[in-house]
Structure 1
Amino acid sequence: MTVAVVTGGTRGVGAGIARAFQRAGADVVICARRPPGEPVGDARFLPLDVRDAGACEELCGRVAAEHGGLDVLVNNAGGTGFRLAAEGEAARHARVVELNLIAPLVMSRAAYAVMRGQSGGGSIVMIGSVSGSRPSPGTAAYGAAKAGLAHLARCLAVEWAPRVRVNTVVLGMVRTELAHLHYGDEAGVAAVAGTVPLGRLAEPEEVGEACVFLASERARYVSGAALELHGGGEQPAFLGAATVERG
């Protein structure tokens, strides 16, 4: 049985990823600083601060010992609040970079130490963001970290081949239980969804299905890749100002 670890797997996108791996038959371990408010299927919860290198190494070793291996790591933990680059203390922006870039590197190293000795190697999936490839006002440190994360994945894919494959899922907007906090209310969520070509936000489980694919044998020749999961992207702002009719 495949053993998968999902960081930040207690809610939102992380919980959707964990459920998708469970549906695929995996033995799933979710980790975060605090336990989930309610069970995420039958996933096992282990507490972890992904910024603590020693704790990451201990968790990966424990999972391998108690579950018989560590086949998949999904680096999902991350996030940020809204803060303009010139506002707040510099240390606050640095902590955003630490959580969204340094922590995935630390956790990936810990997982690689286990995976490289396994007969089947392993697979690591980074959860990136479109904020890393377009302007991200109000979340500049986050966007910069996600840009770095995609580059990190490409580098690790080369350094750790052929034992471990490393890929990135680049997320657009996802509908989670906290979506209304970002977009105001249901009307705000609907308005934002209207800017997406497919007409809606992604569901957490859809993110999970993409992760399952990248971690599976069907993607055995896929490494160093970035799979964009954004419903077609965002409609360019100039289209709203143009007067040309479109069918």
Structure 2
Amino acid sequence: MPDRIAVVTGGTKGIGVALSRRLARLGHHVVAVYRADKAAADLLSDELGDRVETVRLDVADPDAVAAFAERVLAAHGAPRVLVNNAGRNLDGPFLEMSDSDWQQVLDANLSGPFYLTKAFAPAMLELEGGASVVNVGATTAIRPRLDGVNYCASKAGLMHLTKCLALELAPAVRVNSLIPGMIDTEEMRTRFRVADPTARADLLAEIPQRRIGTPEEMADALEFLVGEGARYVTGQKLIVDGGQFMW
């Protein structure tokens, strides 16, 4: 069993599964957390074998997160890498948004990373050679959109949580934000109607590189952030978007 442990929330689908695969390839034993889709978790387990274990967890439940962290620490010790990637998206107009839809998104996207990092950070601070936390954000943390007040607010909060944690956990634990642009996932294809030629052309016109990114390119960026090449990088945001936003 590798002595490097990585925990990836939302680690069995979309961008998250690419991050889990890359960390496993880099020699980590990956604990990939999922909320509901057991079929996707089973596929990843079949693919990576003993390099991964999948765990069902609601990251918005602080008691469940604390118990999960205790099990991981007891079985494997402190993670060298923690990737807070899990999130929820419940869109709707502000004036029609229910309290539940507001709270569920805040709980998953902002409180979840807080709970996970708080649970693991004390042990990560003791690791020789340091450790890394990567919070997966969103471009809507900087530029808002219609019908997404809960999501935008949660990701803006996550960006500042990243900076605060980078201050408080330095120098042993580096904390950075990884922000995807238009990355080829099922959710992105549906939301932006990329199967429609006109919608796709309009989308690509906004991206200087004139293409949609891949989950593997997000994994490339993660590899940099958790590697030795980024040992002097903390409290930063790395936007992988083909030049679409340039913030």
- Equivalent pair of 2:78/2:120 in contact (CA under 8 Å): no
Count of residue pairs the alignment pairs up: 235
TM-fit CA distance, 1:179: 2.9
CA change 1:126–1:170 in 2 (3 A) is same
Shift of 1:6: 0.6
Q: Which runs of 5+ in 1 are unaligned?
A: 236-247
Partner of 2:87: 78
2: CA distance between counterparts of 1:157 and 1:111? 14
* Structure 2 unaligned spans of 5+: none
Is structure 2 residue 22 aligned with structure 1 residue 11? no
Work out the CA distance in 2 between the residues paired with 1:194 and 1:26.
Answer: 38
1:1-247 to structure 2, matched below 5 A, reads 1=2, 2-34=4-36, 35-37=38-40, 38-40=42-44, 41-42=47-48, 43-187=52-196, 188-189=199-200, 191-234=202-245
Deviation >4 Å, runs of 4+: none
Shift of 1:36: 4.0
Larger radius of gyration: 1
1:32/1:134 CA distance change after superposition, 3 Å = same
Cα RMSD, aligned residues only: 1.8
Equivalent residues of 1:61, 1:114 under 8 A apart: no
1:174 CA displacement: 1.4
> 1:6, 1:14 within 8 Å by CA — same for their partners in 2?
yes
More helix by share: 2
Query: d(CA) in 2 for partners of 1:91 and 1:21?
Result: 35
- What is the DSSP-based 3-state SS (H/G/I as helix, E as strand, rest coil) of the residue aligned with 2:183? coil
Q: Give the secondary structure class of the aligned counterpart of 1:80.
A: coil
Return the letter of the residue paired with 1:206: E
1:23-48 deviation digits (Å, cap 9, x = unpaired): 22221110012324242231210111
Q: 1:17 deviation in Å?
A: 0.9
Partners of 2:124 and 2:228 in 1: how far apart? 16
How many Å apart are 1:117 and its aligned residue? Answer: 2.6
Cα distance in 2 between the residues matched to 1:79 and 1:139: 11
Q: Hey, what's the Cα distance between the residues in 2 that align with 1:63 and 1:194?
A: 45
Matched residue type, 1:116? L
- Identity, % of aligned positions: 37
Q: Per-residue deviation at 1:177?
A: 2.6
